[in-house]
Every structure is written in C-alpha cells, then in structure tokens.
Amino acid sequence: AYLQQIEKCEAQLGAYIKVTREVALAQAAQVDARRAAGEQLHPLAGVPMALKDNLCTQGIETTCGSKMLQNFCPPYSATAARRLEEAGCVLLGKVNMDEFAMGSSTENSYYHPTRNPVDPTRVPGGSSGGSAAAVGAREAAFALGSDTGGSIRQPAAFCGVVGMKPTYGAVSRYGLVAFASSLDQIGPLTRDVRDSALVLSAIAGKDERDSTCVGRNYGDFQQDIGREVTGLRLGLPREFLEEGIDPQVKAAVLAAANRYEKLGARVEPVSLPTLKHALPAYYVISSAEASSNLARFDGVRYGYRAKDYADMDELYERTRSEGFGPEVKRRIMLGTFALSAGYYDAYYNKALQVRTLVVREFEALFKDFDALLSPVAPTTAYRLGEKMADPMAMYLGDIYTVPVNIAGLPALSLPCGRDEEGLPIGMQLIGPPFSEKKLYQLGYAFE
Ligand code: GLN
C-alpha cells in the first residue's frame, strides 16, 4: 500500500531520492515469514519507513542531497538505521534533503526540490523536508530526520506532522554524515506522538561507536503517555512571540497555552534574553564545524572526483568546486573565516561564549518549569523560490529552533492549528536534558 502511495504521489511531491522497492518487498516478506513461524516480533516489525539520505545504509546509495556523494554506497549502516532494521522495519527508500542538511526548505538538494503535501506550491521545510513530506503524504509510516538547527522540527511544523529532536547524546550519530557534530541529532518524524515515542525507544541508547552517545537506560519512551498534565509548569518565553512572528502563528501558540491551562497545567510568561544572540552564534558554530567536517570530501576517499586535473591541488579544487552546491560553499567559507587566525577569538570564541550563556539561561528556567512552549517557525510554509535569493531571510526562519541545539536540549514539534490558507502551524515543547518522556506526556495530552 505504501509503495502504491509512493507511485501515486511522487511525480508531484518528490519526497524520495531513491525508492528501495526490492529491499522493501524482501524485508516485508521476511517479517511475514518470521510472524508465520510464530516468532515474537518487535512492535515496529513490518512498519514501512523512510530514512533521510544523510543516514548511511549499507549497500544503498547515501547522497546527502549532494552531487559530491552521488554514487556513494556506504559499507555500513548508521546505528539508528540498523536498530530499526533489526526491529523489522521495512525500508521504502531514502528521502530528500537540503545538501549536507544545510537549509530550511529542501530547495538546496542537488537532485530536485520536494513539495509540501498540504499545498504543493509551498516548500515542505528543511532540511529534512523529504522525511516530513513522505510522512505527511502517507508515503511512509514514519521517517528519520536529523536536526542540527531545526531540521526535524521545522519541516514537521510545515507539513503538519510530529517531529522529535532528542537530547544531544540520546541517539547515536554513528553513520550520520556529519554537518556540525556538537549540534547534530537524529530523530523521528511521525503522524502522532505515540508513534514518535515508539520509534525513539527503538533508536535511542548507548552505542560504542559514538563516544558522545550517553549510556543511559531509557526504557520505553511511551511510559508517561496518557498521564494527566495537571500541575505541570510550562514557561512561555516572551522573546519567542515578539518581533517578526506571523500573527496567526502567535495566536495558535497562545491558544495552545490556553488549552494547557484548561488541562490543568500552569502556564507563565518567562524570559530568554539571549534568544537574539543564539542565531548568529549558531551560524558561526555550525559553519565552523561544517568547514572542518566537510574537509574529508577531497575527491580521493568518497564519491565525486573531478575529471581533469594536473596535480593534487587541482584535484581538490576542481572536485570541491564541482561537487558542492552554493549553500555548502557559503558555509565552508563562513566557517573557515571564523576559524582563521586573527578572527578566531572575535567570532568562534565569542560564539562559544554565547553558547554558554544560552545553556545557563535554559538551566535557570528549568529549575522552575517542566517545559517551555514556543512556536517552531515565525511563519507557515512559504512558496517555492520565495527565499532562495536571500540566504539571510532563510536563516532568520531558524530563530526559534537553533537555541535548542545550542543547548543540546530535547524538543517536540507538533501541530497546533492551521492558518487562514489551511497551512499547518507548529509549536514546540522544549525540556531539560533527557526529559523526552515528559515532552511526550505533554504532547499526547494536547493531541
Ligand atoms: N536551517 C538550519 C541550517 O541551515 C538548520 C539545518 C539543520 O538542522 N540541519 O543550518
């Protein structure tokens, strides 16, 4: 049924870079056989999924939305992908994304843009736009995405689905093509909160292959789903509802706050004064890390290699000039500049100081609050092409999502209404480290 839906929708949506039809049918047949043999199966066994194309899949192309990795077939699978495969999930294919996860609209993909299933004249958000569109259009039961500065939560908001960005270190990054290693996290995009908890339970937990992955026994993330939220304290950071926000998005988030009060939670306005500094700090830190991480794409070890070159320097230069798209080049230049002698203290070190301030501000708030409620993006989904000529306008749309990555916190993005044109509006619940279960409890109560 999912393969049929893909056939029906793909010409218009373009959520997938590659549909792995044969793999899917073989895996599904295997699950059927195991079930017929009376085997006790994982709750996710047989569930068809899509993976963002920056998650390595053994023997299956992993392009990262880039020409640079066009024919790259990883010799191993990402831990998150492998755990789902072991649970019996069925891989429908690899889904579209902004090149190297840099972007907010999926228009930076080398392959093709993806369209929003709610309104195909609009972007699905990004960089996990393929993941969100596939789930929104029922072209997959769930998908994995990655979130460095909002790339799970913002496309979830634009497509009207649920997106979870877990605590930094909750999910192994092994096999996730690195963008900014201190910010990247893998997480699920699903149709509802319970599905999200189910998928996160399958992928979270210690992995010897990622030293930043925290050894913790999470148990079942569904554990607190269905429990009342009476007495829980929610903070509403006022800086998230000030300048530049679409009045309809603001109204929907305030209405959500009201609903939480009716459900018995206590909602109070709070302040996060460093919010305005988080965005510039994010673009310095993420670009600095990206410039270092992407140094490995030199035409020698992975994927694309330029045809004509006279010597080693020219091999590097041509390969990188031809293999990377404009946004990736912009980030590499920005990051290299911020890390260079003479500018390091002024930009990179300053950004790290801001990072510490953001962390402390959140910590102080979480002494008094269980979670914070905020919009995910200042607007609903915009039209394709609308922001492509203006990278700054595109970056500004990340204002509400990046502070969460800067501080390594978990945040759940879920639908909270629609604007006059019927486009989905998203809100996010932000919690202290490892509070995913409470976020699911709060999210489920609202749903
Ligand atoms: N839009 C942000 C950026 O372009 C976030 C990307 C992400 O989370 N991968 O950097």
Please report where in the chains the tokens 């490995």 appear, as a residue: 296
Backbone angles phi, psi at 144, to 5 degrees: -100, 145
Q: Tell whether the model's pLDDT for residue 243 goes beyond 90.
A: no
Question: In the Cβ-directed half-sphere of 22, how many Cα atoms lie within 13 Å?
Answer: 2
Beta bridge partners of 406: none
Looking at the predicted complex, does its ipTM rise above 0.90? yes
Enumerate domains of the chain plus CATH numbers: 1-447 (3.90.1300.10)
What are the E-state strand segments in 201-317? 233-237, 266-270
Rounded mean pLDDT, 394-401: 95
- Burial code (b: 16+ CB inside 10 Å, e: under 16) for 400-434 equals bbbbbbbbbbbbbbbbbbebeeebbbbbbbbbbbb
The 10 Å Cβ neighbour count of residue 228 is 11
Strands 411-418 and 424-430 turn out to be antiparallel
- Please give the pLDDT value at position 216: 86
The mean predicted confidence, pLDDT, of the chain is 97
pLDDT-based confidence at residue 238 (cuts at 50, 70, 90): very high
> Has 52 been annotated as catalytic?
yes
DSSP 380-422: S--BTTTTTT-HHHHHHTTTTTHHHHHTT--EEEEEEEE-TTS
Residues 124-145 have pLDDT tens digits of 999 999 999 999 999 999 999 9
Q: Tell whether the model's pLDDT for residue 304 goes beyond 90.
A: yes
Q: Tell whether the model's pLDDT for residue 301 goes beyond 90.
A: no
Beta bridge partners of 235: 268, 372
Looking at the CA of residue 394, tell me the nearest atom of ligand 1: 1
Mutational pocket test of ligand 1: of 64, 100, 148, 388, the residue with most ligand atoms within 8 Å of the beta carbon: 148
> Has 271 been annotated as catalytic?
no
> Has 438 been annotated as catalytic?
no
Catalytic entry in 127, 128, 172, 196: 127
Q: Is 176 near ligand 1, meaning CB less than 6 Å away?
A: no
> What is the 185 CA–ligand 1 centroid distance (Å)?
12
Q: Is 171 helix (H, G, I), strand (E, B) or coil?
A: strand
Nearest Cα to 94, choosing from 139, 136, 47? 139
Q: Is 143 helix (H, G, I), strand (E, B) or coil?
A: strand
DSSP one-letter code for 348: I
- Please give the pLDDT value at position 395: 94
DSSP one-letter code for 431: -
CB 57 within 8 A of CB 27: no
CB 105 within 8 A of CB 125: yes
The 10 Å Cβ neighbour count of residue 32 is 12
